[in-house]
C-alpha cells in the first residue's frame, strides 16, 4: 500500500476495497464467522501455526479461527494502512487494547523493559503505563528531555501530538532524532491521518483510538496501529494470544467511516477555527488552547501537521465552578467524554478523562475541552455564548454584551 498512486481523499474512498470487484459486490461484505472449515488436519495445523505467528496472507489451510484473522477487519486495516502511508495496520477492540498490545509486543521483541513516555498523554494511556500491569518500567519526561532520558534499556518512546487535552504539539522528527534508534510510537488520534502522517517523520508506529475521528459517529469503540510488516506481525502475535480483537461489524462501520474522514475533518476544522476566533475575544475565557494560537514556536504547522484540527480547550476565568455551570448549560454541545464525532461534545478533563493522572500532571481545574462537530458554526457559537454568558460570575461585573448581536459576529 506504500506506493498507492492516488491522492489521500481517493485513498480514503477506495482503499481496502481491492477485492470487491472479484467478489462481484460493491460494498464490503461482513463476514461474521468465528471459525473456518479446515481442508485437512495437517493443512489446518500449519495454517494455525502461521497465523498465530503473525503471518499474512492467509495460508491454504484457511484462517482457522477469527481470533487470528477476519476479512472484514483486514479490509479496514488495509485502508487505514493506506491512509497512514504504512505497510500494514492491526486493529484492536479499543485504543487502550491497541496501546497494551503495542507495549507488550515491543517489550517482547526488544527484550528491554524501559518505556519513556512524553507527557501530556491521554489519561488512560498515562494510567496504563503507570499501573505496572504491562511489566514495563516507565519514566515520564517532556519532549525536550527525551535525549537526556533515553537509556540503553529503553524499548520505546510514547508520545501524543497534538496532546489530549492541552493541544500541546511535539516535534515528532526531533523526538525521533533524540531517540537514537529507539522506536517511537505516536498517538495520532487528535490529528487523524488527514492532517498528520507520523510514519513519514520517522515514527515506528502510529496509534489511533478509532473510537474518535476514524469512526466519527460515536457508535464504535476501536483502536488501530499502523506500522511496518515486522511490527505488525509482532502485534498480531500479541492479539492472537490476548484476544483484544475488533469485531467485524465494528470494522465494517470504521471502514465505511474512513471514506468521509477527510471531508469530516476539514469541515469540523473550519467550524473550530471560527469558534476559536470567537472564543479568544470572550471576556469569560482566560486562554484558548488550539494549534498555532501560541505562534507555533516549533514551526510544526505545514511541516508536520497540515491543519489545526477540530479540538479546542479553554481555561475559564471562573475556574472549576464556571466549568461546572458551562458544561451543564450547553444544549447543542453534549456534556460527555470522547471526541471526534459529527456532533459537538464538551467535557472537563481534570475531573473525567484525566482523573487517573497524578495531580501534578493533571490538567488545570479551569480547563474545559471542546470537540467540534459538523453542526452550523453559528449555532455552536450561540450555544457557547448562552452557556458562558448566562453562567459567568465575571460577566455580571462587565458591561452587558449586546443581547441581539448576531451569533458569531465577533469572529
Ligand X SMILES: *Cc1c(COP(=O)(O)O)cnc(C)c1O
At closest approach, how far in Å is the CB of 133 from ligand X? Answer: 15
C-alpha cell at 61: 489451510
Q: Which residue is nearest to ligand X (CB)?
A: 95
Structural contact between residues 217 and 257, judged by C-beta atoms closer than 8 angstroms: yes
Name which of 301 and 337 has its Cβ closer to ligand X.
Answer: 337
Which residues are at the interface with ligand X (CB under 6 A)? 94-96, 122, 124-125, 160, 164, 187, 189, 209, 211-212, 221, 223
Which of 48, 122, 140, 290 does the annotation list as catalytic? Answer: 122
Q: What is the DSSP letter of 87?
A: S
Q: Closest approach of Cβ 198 to ligand X, in Å? A: 13
Catalytic-residue membership of 212: yes
257-275 residues labelled b (16+ CB within 10 A) or e (exposed): bbbebbebbebbbebbbbb
CB of 123 to ligand X, least distance (A): 9
Cβ closest to ligand X, residue 210 vs residue 316: 210
Nearer to ligand X, 122 or 252 (CB): 122
Residue 387 CA to residue 178 CA, distance in Å, equals 45
Please, what is the minimum distance in Å from the beta carbon of residue 125 to ligand X?
6
Kindly name the residue from 17, 65, 67, 362 that is annotated as catalytic: 67
* Residue 204 beta carbon to ligand X: minimum distance, rounded to whole angstroms: 17
- Please say if 404 is a catalytic residue: no
Helix axes 229-242, 41-52, angle to 10 degrees: 110
Query: Strand, coil or helix: what is 229?
Result: helix
DSSP structure string for 321-376: HHHHHHHHH-SSSEE-S---SSS-EEE-TTTTTTTTS-GGGSPPTTEEEEE--SS-
Establish whether 325 is a catalytic residue.
no
Give the nearer residue to ligand X in terms of CB position, either 136 or 389: 136
The three three-digit cell numbers of residue 203, written as one number = 515514527
Choose between 160 and 383: whose C-beta lies nearer to ligand X. Answer: 160
What DSSP state is assigned to residue 402? Answer: P
Let me know if 122 is a catalytic residue. yes
Name the active-site residue from 212, 236, 264, 369. Answer: 212
Residues labelled catalytic: 67, 122, 187, 212
Amino acid at each position: 500500500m506504500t506506493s498507492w498512486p492516488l491522492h489521500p481523499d481517493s485513498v480514503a474512498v477506495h482503499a481496502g476495497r481491492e477485492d470487491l470487484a472479484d467478489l462481484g459486490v460493491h460494498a464490503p461484505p461482513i463476514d461474521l464467522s468465528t471459525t473456518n472449515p479446515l481442508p485437512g488436519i495437517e493443512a489446518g495445523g500449519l495454517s494455525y501455526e502461521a497465523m498465530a505467528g503473525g503471518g499474512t496472507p492467509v495460508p491454504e489451510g484457511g484462517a482457522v479461527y477469527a481470533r487470528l484473522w477476519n476479512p472484514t477487519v483486514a479490509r479496514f486495516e488495509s485502508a487505514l494502512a493506506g491512509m497512514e502511508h504504512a505497510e500494514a495496520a492491526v486493529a484492536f477492540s479499543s485504543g487502550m487494547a491497541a496501546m497494551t498490545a503495542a507495549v507488550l509486543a515491543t517489550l517482547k521483541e526488544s527484550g528491554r523493559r524501559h518505556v519513556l513516555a512524553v507527557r501530556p498523554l491521554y489519561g488512560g494511556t498515562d494510567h496504563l503505563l503507570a499501573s505496572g500491569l504491562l511489566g514495563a518500567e516507565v519514566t515520564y519526561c517532556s519532549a525536550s528531555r527525551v535525549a537526556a532520558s533515553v537509556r540503553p534499556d529503553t524499548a520505546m518512546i510514547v508520545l501524543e501530538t497534538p496532546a489530549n487535552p492541552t493541544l500541546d504539539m511535539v516535534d515528532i522528527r526531533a523526538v525521533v532524532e533524540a531517540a537514537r534508534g529507539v522506536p517511537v510510537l505516536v498517538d495520532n488520534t487528535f490529528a487523524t491521518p488527514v492532517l498528520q502522517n507520523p510514519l513519514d517523520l520517522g515514527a515506528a508506529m502510529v496509534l489511533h483510538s478509532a473510537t474518535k475521528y476514524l469512526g466519527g459517529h460515536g457508535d464504535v469503540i476501536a483502536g488501530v496501529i499502523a506500522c511496518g510488516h515486522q511490527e505488525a506481525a509482532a502485534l498480531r502475535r500479541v492479539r492472537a494470544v490476548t484476544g483484544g480483537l475488533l469485531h467485524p461489524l465494528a470494522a465494517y462501520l470504521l471502514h465505511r467511516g474512513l471514506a468521509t474522514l477527510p471531508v469530516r475533518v476539514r469541515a469540523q476544522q473550519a467550524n473550530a477555527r471560527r469558534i476559536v476566533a470567537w472564543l479568544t475575544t470572550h471576556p469569560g475565557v482566560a486562554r484558548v488552547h488550539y494549534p498555532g494560537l501560541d505562534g507555533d514556536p516549533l514551526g510544526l504547522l505545514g511541516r508536520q501537521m497540515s491543519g489545526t484540527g477540530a479540538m479546542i480547550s479553554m481555561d475559564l476565568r471562573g475556574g472549576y465552578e464556571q466549568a461546572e455551570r458551562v458544561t451543564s448549560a450547553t444544549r447543542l454541545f453534549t456534556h460527555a467524554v470522547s471526541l471526534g464525532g459529527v456532533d459537538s461534545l464538551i467535557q472537563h478533563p481534570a475531573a473525567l478523562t484525566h482523573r487517573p493522572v497524578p495531580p501534578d500532571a493533571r490538567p488545570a481545574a479551569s480547563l474545559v475541552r471542546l470537540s467540534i462537530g459538523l453542526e452550523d458554526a453559528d449555532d455552536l457559537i450561540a450555544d457557547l455564548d448562552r452557556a458562558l454568558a448566562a453562567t459567568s460570575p465575571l460577566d455580571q461585573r462587565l458591561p452587558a454584551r449586546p443581547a441581539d448581536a448576531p451569533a458569531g459576529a465577533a469572529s
